[in-house]
Structure 1
Amino acid sequence: MPSWKEQLPSIGTLGPFIALLIACGFFSLQSEQFLTGANFSLILQQVMVVGLIAIGQTLIILTAGIDLSCGMVMALGGVVMTKVAHDYGVHPVLAIAAGFAVTAGFGLINGLLVTRIKLPSFIVTLGTMNIAFAITQLYSQSQTITDLPAGMTFLGTTFSIGQTEVAYGTVLMLAMYGASWLWLRETASGRHIYAVGNNPEATRLTGIATHKVLLMVYVLAGLCYGVASLLSVARTGVGDPNAGQTENLDAITAVVLGGTSLFGGRGIVLGSLIGAMIVGVFRNGLTLMGVSSVYQILITGILVILAVATDQLSRKGGR
């Protein structure tokens, strides 16, 4: 029978949550505005786009891959769905579906290049990142798309819980995290993702089609980027061709801070939500303190290095 110490969650699981609590405690002492429902709702709205991208990024990193194209693919999806709705008068549902098809298509391309041609995910997604950026600029003619139908911005509207306004997009993000967590934890296909990340060759020898698992992961990640693009459009009210410039690094930061190993096979998707919240809390808290945005970027970089170093040390300790 395992001892009580062995039954405790690992530091990789508890660490991000503890860090989030410490950050919240610190900033609540620095600013009276921090520990309010309105401010936490604002933080969730600020991280919901990166949070959705981080779900897809988590799936890929769990297979020991990485996706540098996520931010640009998200921006392209937003431009496609807004231009289709604005320029051609297409119903918002069909326009949104067109954006999803584009982001899922990029996920399929990434997955095929990784699984069929055996190219490293870093190189593949670096290339598709630039391709998505170029297509976005050409298709939009570098112009922001405005005057969107209400159906495309609904998720940016809010409802009241007590005296706090909560965005519908925040609820969607939390629901998708819950569904992703259950899928990865409770289904065979979800567990196959961990197996591929741990040891792809051993997984293949057990009869699991590893290339199909990887292809599924990249397509699902693309769909997550499509949802993120819809949330970005809903929050800003425009189709912005210059969106997605930093979201790829922000999403990777959230995943790493959330305890998912860059070496694959270890981590929980809910940790990525906590990681996104850590970044959001630091940026919000430092802003309330009047600290320059340069220091916010500096602290985020330090947190990423500490998270990766902790992961590396824990791997060595587990051998």
Structure 2
Amino acid sequence: MTATPLPYDQLKGPTTVRRLLTTPTTGPLVALLLACVFFSLTTEQFLSGGNFSLIVQQVMVVGTLAIGQTLIILTAGIDLSCGAVMAFGSIVIAKTAAEGGLPPLVAIVLGLVVSAGFGLVNGLLVQLIPLPPFIVTLGMLNVAFALTHVYSAEQTITDLPAPLTALGETFPLGNTDITYGSLVTIALFLLFAYALSGTSWGRHVYALGNSPEAARLNGIRTSRLTIGLYTLAGVVYGIAALLLISRTGVGDPQAGQTDNLDSITAVVLGGTSLFGGRGSVLGTFIGVLIVGVFRNGLQLMGVASIYQTLITGVLVILAVTVDQISRRKSR
């Protein structure tokens, strides 16, 4: 008997190229590379170590916020309060250290605890009542914003102890100065990338985002996981608060007012689905760099900041459109 030959599609099987093309981070990575090529050809200063270091410095605060935002969006939630929580955390750290007499390390821990507290409340309201994440975090945005201005008395806090601004210091790497804060941000991205891709906790997060009911039926404690994710995101926002202080050298009550939207922009551009269950922290890192590269490159070209915002908005719409199309094709 002659064996029936397999169809061509089954014979060739999955290929490395096909897997790469279907990976959510492939598109953002290609976009980042094309943007770098374009700005390298149109500006003389773009392709230099100092400029790339500057880009990372400019995005390290939003990038850190975007890590926490990624955790929330992977569960099909959203956190509009992250920028305001970061601002309040920075004021708590700065004021308790500069004016309250607390040791800098204690002030930093207090800022992290306060930021985590906001995340905990968000998680409890989302999970136990339950309320939509959009509504909960929108309300918390206003609460944190008001508390920031009340506690700071509308005053910028200066003369901070040196340990609070240490992460803003630089060290030479070749001919390029690198800030310690940039290394902290990159280390956080690597840590959470491993946690999400290489641990059972990460698999539970993706399962929760794909289907909370299916995750619960498979033995995952979805309530505890959701509350824990919002709390952990709050801790990350507290770290972002410290990075903000180290970059600016002050405690500014006006800080972070649009950083929530910038963090969402970075997450979406990095290929994470707003519907949950798909995406990665490394994709978010690429998204953060896309935002940073575009703004830096357009600034070097002399393009007004309003047009930089316009282009960023167009990129977000395109990213969400691609996500929607890919979801429909996968059904």
TM-score range, shorter chain: over 0.9
**CA spacing shift, 1:11–1:191, aligned 2, 3 Å:** closer
2:328 corresponds to 1:311: no
- TM-score of the superposition, structure 1-length normalised? 0.99
1:7 CA drift (Å): 3.5
Q: Corresponding residue for 2:14?
A: 3
Give matches, 1:169-188, under 5 Å: 169-188=181-200
Q: Which amino acid aligns with 2:322?
A: T
The structure 1 residue matched to 2:216, chosen from 197, 204, 210, is: 204
The aligned counterpart of 2:63 is 51
| Displacement after TM superposition at 1:2 (Å) | 3.7
Q: Which residue of 2 aligns with 1:285?
A: 297
Give the secondary-structure state (helix, strand or coil) at the position aligned to 2:178: strand
> Which residue of the other structure, out of 148, 153, 159, is the alignment partner of 1:136?
148
Matches for 1:22-171 after TM superposition, within 5 Å:
22-171=34-183
Structure 2's unaligned 5+ residue stretches are: 1-11
Q: CA offset at residue 6 of structure 1?
A: 4.2
User: What code does the residue aligned with 1:213 have?
Assistant: L
Q: Tell me how far apart the structure 2 counterparts of residues 272 and 2 of structure 1 sit (CA, whole Å).
A: 30
Displacement of 1:8 in angstroms is: 2.9
Find the aligned partners of 1:169 and 1:199 in 2 and give their Cα distance.
Answer: 36
Structure number with greater Rg is 2
Q: How many Å separate the matches in 2 of 1:156 and 1:10?
A: 38
Cα displacement (A) at 1:9: 4.8
Structure 1 Cα separation of the partners of residues 53 and 21 of structure 2 = 28
CA-to-aligned-CA distance 1:245-289 (integer Å, 9 cap, x gap): 110000000000000000000001111111011011011001000
Identity %: 62
Measure, in 1, the Cα distance between the counterparts of 2:284 and 2:257: 20
- The count of aligned residue pairs is 319
Taking only aligned residues, the RMSD between alpha carbons, in angstroms, comes to 0.9
* Offset at residue 97 of structure 1 (A): 0.5
Which whole-Å CA distance do the structure 2 matches of 1:181 and 1:167 have between them?
Answer: 22
- What residue identity is the alignment partner of 2:171? F
Shift in Å, 1:190 = 1.1
Match of residue 190 from structure 1: 202
Cα distance in structure 1, aligned partners of 2:111 and 2:149: 15
Structure 2 residue identity aligned to 1:313: I
Matched, 1:15 2:27: yes
Are residue 223 (structure 1) and residue 223 (structure 2) matched?
no
Runs of 4+ in 1 over 4 A off after TM superposition: none
Q: How big is the shift at 1:11?
A: 4.7
- Report SS of the residue matched to 1:180: helix
TM-score (norm 2): 0.95
Partner Cα separation in structure 1 for residue 194 and residue 299 of structure 2: 35
How much does 1:298 deviate?
0.3
1:240 alignment partner in structure 2:
252
Could you say what secondary structure the match of 2:172 adopts?
Answer: strand
Q: Is contact 2:59-2:288 (8 Å) kept?
A: yes
SS, match of residue 12 in structure 1: coil
For 2:289 and 2:281, locate their aligned partners in 1 and report how far apart those are by CA, in whole Å. 13
**Separation of aligned partners in 1, 2:311 and 2:120:** 35
Q: Which amino acid aligns with 1:308?
A: V
